[in-house]
Amino acid sequence: MVALSIYFSYAIWLSPAGKTFISFGESSPQMLDSHNDRKASEVFLPLHVTWLHAGSIKETNSENLVSRLQTVIESARFGKISEIVEGDKEKFNKVKKIEEGIELTYNAPLLLSEYQSAFHLNLDFSDLPNQKDSLYFTRIQFDEKNNKVRFINYFDYSIYEASLLMDWTTLEDELSVTDAVWIEMKQASSLIETQYDTKNKIKLKKYSYILSQQPYTLFRNAFFQKPDEVKTNNESNELFFYGGNETMTIHSETQIVDFRGELLQENEAPNIFAQSFPYISKLGSSLGNMRYFDQERNQIDYRIFVEGFPVFGADSKGKVEIEVGVDQIDSQIKIQTSLNTIQVPIPSDEEVELPSTEMVVQRLVDKGADKGKLASLIVGYTWQNIKETNRVVNLLPEWYVKYQSKWYSVNDLLKHLPEKEAN
């Protein structure tokens, strides 16, 4: 019955009568009352878990499983954290080897103090009193054989370690639940040192989603410090808001939301995670499952995730990009996102087969890619508009690569590699 209902909804949305427009109306009281802020534990959830067990390595992006594992981890007891590797790559590669346990991974560095706060962990920094707010990591190892936890940073080859008391039986029970789709990984080291290579080709579902346009009040209330005092100028196709030293423009052609202003007055945190999170939190779940994805210098990106994989789209679709001032004197903030979001999935059994990571890397290298510039290779869902309607979009799984500090679909990068290397 549910599938049938969604099917009829799909048929209605396919009607060519639909037109793209920006709603200048206010949100309904019911919509505002049902709004719930997103939690840090949702936004800063690790991207995937790797399970190393009995000589095999496998990986899953299951958000439900990662969340359940975090619940087990919250109950663990940690010893004092100490730095055991500092910039020594040879020692780093030796120490990070693990035989039995799990690894939780982020795509970009995260502050350890923010991870501790998001998941309410009782971490002991007493041996590092002046470093608590400057320790970054990209991977967490829970070493079952040695009862250790390690916070690993591939960007500066540092490792922080602590003793660990954890309920491994409960953890393994969660890992053995059959609702997660596991991908077999290779034992051999990958050319991209921050990840494992897939053993085989992988199959993922293709999705279609009903498109929704959010009311402007969602962004006004989330971004402005005093939303009730904001004024509007809608004399043109561009919707313009202003209040104090803050402005927001909604572009009619692209539906891009462009905010400029000052950091929240109550937010004196010196790091970009704590500075940007309140804006994401206030958006609630209206834009979908928004999670931390990437960070470069003073810019941080949050993306919508579908079935554990990030969504990539043109005109800031599926993304909230936040840029903050480079120092405490510069309190400016810039936010860019889209009015459009995906809401209701349409059932489909269609699958797409993707090549193994090793095959993808080899294709890139053969086309002229510099191995040293391949920072990350992940599966993402590409937001594809459907010509016949502006009410439904397709989400197509494909490989994405971070190359020269920018994200590209592998197919797009392959087309433009010669000219990029020439520059």
pLDDT in tens, 392-421: 999 999 999 999 999 999 999 999 887 666
CA distance 294 to 301: 5
Same domain, 290 and 379: no
Which of 325, 341, 357 is a domain's end point?
341
Q: What is the pLDDT of residues 94-141, one digit of tens each?
A: 999 999 999 999 999 999 999 999 999 999 999 997 888 899 999 999
Same domain, 265 and 382: no
Which of 341, 365, 386 is a domain's end point?
341
**What is the pLDDT, as a whole number, of residue 347?**
79
Q: Say whether pLDDT at 335 is over 90.
A: yes
Q: Say whether pLDDT at 25 is over 50.
A: no
Which residue(s) pair with 342 in the sheet? Answer: 211
23 is a domain residue:
no
Q: In the chain, pLDDT over 70 holds for what percent of residues?
A: 88
Mean pLDDT of 196-208: 96
Q: Say whether pLDDT at 185 is over 90.
A: yes
Which of 276, 308, 341 is a domain's end point?
341
Q: Say whether pLDDT at 326 is over 50.
A: yes
**What is the pLDDT, as a whole number, of residue 179?**
82
320 is a domain residue:
yes
7 is a domain residue:
no
Q: Say whether pLDDT at 270 is over 90.
A: no
Under DSSP, the state recorded for 80 is: B
Same domain, 56 and 152: yes
CA distance 64 to 47: 11
Same domain, 176 and 48: yes
Under DSSP, the state recorded for 34 is: T
Q: Say whether pLDDT at 8 is over 60.
A: no
Q: Say whether pLDDT at 5 is over 60.
A: no
Grade residue 184 by pLDDT with cuts at 50, 70 and 90.
very high
Q: Say whether pLDDT at 2 is over 60.
A: no
Grade residue 267 by pLDDT with cuts at 50, 70 and 90.
low
Same domain, 62 and 150: yes
310 is a domain residue:
yes
- The type of residue at 360 is V
**What is the pLDDT, as a whole number, of residue 112?**
96
Same domain, 44 and 159: yes
Same domain, 329 and 365: no
**What is the pLDDT, as a whole number, of residue 22?**
52
- CA torsion 203→204→206→207, rounded to 10°? 170
Mean pLDDT of 161-176: 96
Same domain, 44 and 169: yes
Q: Say whether pLDDT at 20 is over 80.
A: no
**Average pLDDT over all residues of the chain:** 89
Q: What is the pLDDT of residues 69-105, one digit of tens each?
A: 999 999 999 999 999 999 999 999 999 999 999 999 9
29 is a domain residue:
no
Q: What is the CATH number of the domain that holds 327?
A: 3.30.310.160
Same domain, 171 and 237: no
pTM of the model: 0.91
Pairing of strands 374-386, 309-312: parallel
2 is a domain residue:
no
Please, what is the Cα angle at 195 between 93 and 367, to 5 degrees? 110
Q: Say whether pLDDT at 27 is over 90.
A: no
35 is a domain residue:
no
Q: What is the pLDDT of residues 344-403, one digit of tens each?
A: 899 788 999 999 999 999 999 999 999 999 999 999 999 999 887 878 999 999 999 999
Same domain, 57 and 127: yes
CA distance 358 to 197: 6
CA distance 209 to 189: 37
Count of all residues that appear for the chain in the document = 423
Grade residue 36 by pLDDT with cuts at 50, 70 and 90.
confident
Mean pLDDT of 291-296: 96
Structural domain for 172, as ranges? 40-185
Same domain, 94 and 225: no
Count of structural domains within the chain: 3
Residues 6+ apart with CB under 8 A from 218: 27, 283, 286
379 is a domain residue:
yes
Q: In the chain, pLDDT over 90 holds for what percent of residues?
A: 77
Same domain, 417 and 394: yes
Under DSSP, the state recorded for 90 is: H
Mean pLDDT of 176-205: 93
